Structure 1
Amino acid sequence: MKIIASLVLYRHLLSDIDKTLTSLVNENCIDKVCIVDNGNHCEWLKELIHPKIEIIRLAINRGFGSGHNAVFEQYGQRCEYVLICNPDISFLSGQVDELYSYCRERQSGLTIPKVIYPDGSLQHGCKILPTPWQLFMRRFGASLSQNMNRDYELHHADYNRPFFAPSLSGCFMLISSDALNIIGGFDERYFLYMEDVDLSRRVCSANLPVEYCPSSTVVHESQRRSYRDIKFLLYHLTSAVKYFNKWGWLIDKERETLNARCLSALPKK
């Protein structure tokens, strides 16, 4: 198979994912859409029948990464790529086909397309690896750190050209089976947030191409729930602590190396 799409749900309704599901099943290069019911709460899935759709029910919700790992374990060796997709994504026909062609041509380990908001504005899905100070100021001092955030989110990059970035947004990722063989999927210590940063840098560490593809575009209705809900803020803070405990707080030589590699070759506007 070419691509298995992985879609993780938690108490979602069919109406919540209708646009996402329609986009996925209509794409030629997607052979199967695996819907993971994290916590086994979506009773309506019992009536969802489609030749491309497979349901995986998990009795316990162990987090975003754990849900996708269930798909990796079952199908990761039976396809060329796995598409990690959020339930708030939609796209026009042919966009994943274009992303797939790009990845095959460049033998990419991990790639994301151009991600835009519903109003058409660019969502900066490519970033450098964060320092603790950058994440703190981004969340709690945004008005005082606009220049820092622009650097972190690579606002000065030319998003009409492909480029390497060490941290890619987990809302819509195409990862190769070769990469999954090496890194083994998401680190399940992160319940929610930071798991995409961790995954991206581990694919980088495996010396596989990690790239942004400008010729494919998807729409992401980003929720930014950690800015509105204290529970999700706590998830974000907990994951950030786990991330820096794992990779280093002040001293992280790989972070410096990968960020320097990104910035030195970045195509500018």
Structure 2
Amino acid sequence: MELSVIVVNYNVRYFLRICLESLHAATAGMESEIIVVDNASSDGSVDMIRNQFPAVDLIVNTENTGFGRACNDALARASGRYVLFINPDTVVGESLLTEAIKNFESDDQTGAVGVCLLDGNGQVLRESKRSIPSLWSSFTKFSGLSDVFKNIPFFNGYYFPTLRYDETGDIDVLPGAFMLIRKKVLDDIGGFDPRFFMYAEDIDLSYRITRAGYRIRYVGSLHVIHFKGESTQKDLSSYTTTFYQSMRLFIQKYTGELYTPFVAGLLQGIVRGIENMQKVQRRMRRPQRKHRKQGLAECLFVLSNGDQLTSVLNKSARQVVQIPEEGHGKAPFYLRYLPSYLHAHRNSALVVDFRSLTFDRIVEIWKQERTSPFYVADSDHSFIISSHNKENQGEVYVFDRTGEH
């Protein structure tokens, strides 16, 4: 078997559905398998998988065992020459996996391959490529200096600044959202360290890959949509605790190998200090109202061949404009004309129906500069998804036949 795809899901049913649709399209004609581990979801994810994707090898956990442990459970069943660990809040194009696998064929020492990740707003996610954390890069990352000085390499050592996001080259660390790895490499080094419940497990696995003498290849010409944060914790307190615990564990694990005891002590101090500072800041803040979705834009531009989605959306938006079928296949039409038209119409949004467009085309559309939000739609099941703020839960709109949601 050529490829085993492993997805760990936790309460992101609608994002997972479109992810699985895109994975099925990307693996068509390829000898492959898709394994989904559900970490005790309560949103109907399991029933959805069983009813709509019976070919998926489903592992149902009765508790949330964490990302790394769940991946290892699926890895024990995997039989492909290559293994893809991918988050459920992602969308891949039909050609993506074939093109990514080609990077292994030209170099036996390439152990893993990563791609450029785009968030819900079409922006490149900086964690698409990273370095092994050093004392300075950790300080700039955790203190927020890397966010303030995004374009200055001196403050962005955490994000492997010597390689541009549109280039191809070797890096240190891949993000857990998309890690394509030779099965032989995983057999040699083992899977994820289960002590990492979530976060830093991808740093640990990446380091063990390079330590074993393999290269990690980043391919900036390949893109995947990643609705960042949908598959992780949204509670700020839980996120902060888990994240910093994982970073402290990584430092402790490699003291004497990556870090001298003195440097490790400084790093632990930095991590604990910034974690405590964030806890104090949370206590001092006034309680904030729970984030409320603003609702759909008044004007929706819909790329869809069918009338069903348009008629449903007509009940929720003031104006719905369906892009004619002949425009879907014309690159100049939807890649040049449409973004400028959206820019000229305030409070508008674009809805792309994957039942009418290929996922490759959707990813191309997603890369365009925009001031309006973009959504991915499933016209057969009348729902649309997106995520425009990584700090808050993504947007999911499910419509019944009357257009209510």
Kept after mapping to 2: 8 A contact 1:45/1:55: no
User: Once the two structures are aligned, what percentage of the paired residues are identical?
Assistant: 24
Kept after mapping to 1: 8 A contact 2:138/2:158: no
Alpha-carbon RMSD: 2.6
Per-residue CA distance 1:139-172 (angstroms, 9 max, x = gap): 3433666545423213452333321111111111
Partner of 2:97: 96
Kept after mapping to 2: 8 A contact 1:36/1:67: yes
Per-residue CA distance 1:103-130 (angstroms, 9 max, x = gap): 2332321111122224333223111111
Q: 5 Å matches for 1:6-85? A: 6-13=6-13, 15-27=14-26, 28=28, 29=30, 31-39=32-40, 41=42, 42-45=45-48, 47-50=50-53, 52-75=55-78, 78-85=79-86
Larger Rg: 2
Distance 1:165 1:34, change over 3 A: same
The CA deviation at 1:73 is 0.9
Query: Is 1:158 matched up with 2:157?
Result: no
Distance 1:100 1:241, change over 3 A: same
Distance 1:252 1:6, change over 3 A: same
Q: Structure 2 CA distance, aligned partners of 1:226 and 1:40?
A: 13
The CA deviation at 1:45 is 4.2
Q: Describe the SS at the equivalent of 1:230.
A: helix
Kept after mapping to 1: 8 A contact 2:5/2:85: yes
Q: Describe the SS at the equivalent of 2:246.
A: helix
Q: Which has the higher contact order (CA 8 A, sep 6+)?
A: 1
The CA deviation at 1:65 is 0.6
Partner of 1:259: none
Q: Describe the SS at the equivalent of 2:122.
A: coil
**1:117 corresponds to which letter in structure 2?**
D
Distance 1:159 1:152, change over 3 A: same
Q: Structure 2 CA distance, aligned partners of 1:101 and 1:170?
A: 20
Q: 1:204 pairs with 199, 210, 231, which one?
A: 210
Partner of 1:257: none
**1:113 corresponds to which letter in structure 2?**
V
The CA deviation at 1:79 is 1.1
**2:25 corresponds to which letter in structure 1?**
N
TM-score of the pair, normalised by structure 2: 0.57
**Structure 2 unaligned residues grouped into runs of 5+:** 261-405
Query: Is 1:183 matched up with 2:189?
Result: yes
Q: Which one is further off, 90-99 or 53-62? A: 53-62
Per-residue CA distance 1:16-51 (angstroms, 9 max, x = gap): 312211111111336111110113644424633436
Kept after mapping to 1: 8 A contact 2:82/2:181: yes
Distance 1:226 1:18, change over 3 A: closer
Kept after mapping to 2: 8 A contact 1:37/1:58: yes
Partner of 1:114: 116
The CA deviation at 1:251 is 5.8
Q: Structure 1 CA distance, aligned partners of 2:67 and 2:76?
A: 15
Q: Structure 2 CA distance, aligned partners of 1:119 and 1:58?
A: 32
Q: Structure 2 CA distance, aligned partners of 1:202 and 1:33?
A: 25
The CA deviation at 1:81 is 0.7
Query: Is 1:222 matched up with 2:228?
Result: yes
The CA deviation at 1:248 is 2.1
Partner of 2:346: none
**Structure 1 unaligned residues grouped into runs of 5+:** 254-269
Count of paired positions: 251
Partner of 2:238: 231
